[in-house]
Structure 1
């Protein structure tokens, strides 16, 4: 799942995949804008056929939190 999320992030930001771990923070480490994050979430929703409510998105600060959320949502 981590590699898939990294590929999606790279569609919206020029980031070296080796710099992304589960502890990577979207804003503090990757310096993504809210526009980037909305795009990433939209792509994930489309690819996985799910909807992530806005109130949930606010709680997803790191790549690991996003992966955990997706694993829980998809299982």
Structure 2
């Protein structure tokens, strides 16, 4: 998650008075305003792959974690030099 996403998450949690999930923050920062369309095919692919892999990994568990960094890296691709 980058700084923009973290700031957005803090803002929305303050407004809504409940914690957002990682997927909600990603969707809010990677979808066009007023639509349900991702800003790019890559963003859509990453979101779908992450959701699918989390479902497969935590099938049958009552409350899976909000974020699994290993699944996120696998879904979004290898870590690129210079990115945090």
TM bracket (short chain): 0.3 to 0.5
TM-score, with structure 1 as normaliser:
0.33
What is the TM-score when the length of structure 2 is the normalising length? 0.30
Larger radius of gyration between Structure 1 and Structure 2: 2
Higher relative contact order (CA 8 A, sep 6+): 1
